[in-house]
Structure 1
């Protein structure tokens, strides 16, 4: 059920001063909550996070948090970064269990951009969204939503309802009848204006 793991220790104290002390010791304060259980403060090793977080899969896969009294299975819910350093200052984890359906934001990956008919004809690509909120069983969360744009021509667009999704995966927007545009190809601009449009004279 899990693909990633982190070592964790209980965190008894909250607040800025204890958190600063943890960071000086090479630890990152975090909290794990959800699944009908009380929230629990934990501390993670910063060096392990530096290895884990560059892997995009970590954001859509279950992570085993190994504690002295057992293991929590959770998803990353939020990461707070230092304002000007590449350092994690706090993390939130959501407890999950096998078979549970959860919602998560996943990135949108475009496929076939180099072969896109409209772009080859001189069109310009417009991406309306870069991520989508999905609902799926925790063991079927997609790493990304893939959108094939190879056959997209100038003046055409793709919407959520045109996607083929993995089994068990639903798009939250479609559940609310919001058929968002994903991507489109427009005519290239000439001299700052669309083809066939006249420039508005300056007043």
Structure 2
């Protein structure tokens, strides 16, 4: 299930390089809220708060409530820009959402029970093919991760998307039964078996 958080913001009257630089000197960054058949809304958000949310993980899959001068707007971060030298946030784009809004998001894959996998116990190696899976879900049901259980994975096994239990209502965007990971033998496991 999607996690949520709140941010305070103020509407921006002026846009452009000069006003953006002035905002950054004040510890804020420019942002824009798009979508829902409404005009784009230029806002300013606290740079430190957004930077911490960005580095906490799941930034583009967590729904936020932005209070623009007291008015709450549910949004999902769609894109952001970082300064190439200082690695600080420069700009963020948000998209308006409702609980029933259908979205396409990249959800990280989490592997569990690696210590129980017979193939990994014998020295096999987990080769991750897909670190993320592109899903279509509603905004109120964005999963934090897709879980792949490796408890029965042996050397030579491949884990396909069809073997993964997806959250209710989620559909995979990519066609076919693609491979998420495989367990292969290492030279150490082959020499141990000889």
**TM-score normalised by length of structure 1:** 0.86
Deviations 1:90-114 (A, max 9, x none): 1111110122211111111111112
| 2:182 aligned with 1:189 | no
Equivalent residue, structure 1, for 2:4: 3
What's the offset of the Cα at 1:60?
2.0
The size of the alignment, in residue pairs, is 190
Residues in 2 aligned to 1:17 and 1:158: alpha-carbon distance in whole angstroms: 52
Unaligned runs of 5+ in 2: none
Following TM superposition, the consecutive aligned residue runs of length 4 or more in structure 1 with deviations greater than 6 angstroms are none
Deviations 1:155-198 (CA, angstroms, capped at 9, x unpaired): 1101111111111111111xxx23221000111136xxx969xx
* Structure number with bigger Rg: 1
Q: Which has the higher contact order (CA 8 A, sep 6+)?
A: 2
| Structure 1: runs of 5+ lacking an equivalent | 197-203
1:133 aligns with 2:131: no
In 2, the alpha carbon distance for the partners of 1:123 and 1:150 equals 13
Partners of 2:39 and 2:3 in 1: how far apart? 22
Q: Deviations over 1:112-155 (max 9, x none)?
A: 11222111112111000111111111111101111111211111
Give the corresponding residue for 1:145: 146
Match of 1:178 among 176, 179, 183: 176
How do residues 4-23 of structure 1 correspond to structure 2 at under 5 angstroms? 4-23=5-24
Distance 1:39 1:27 in 2: 19
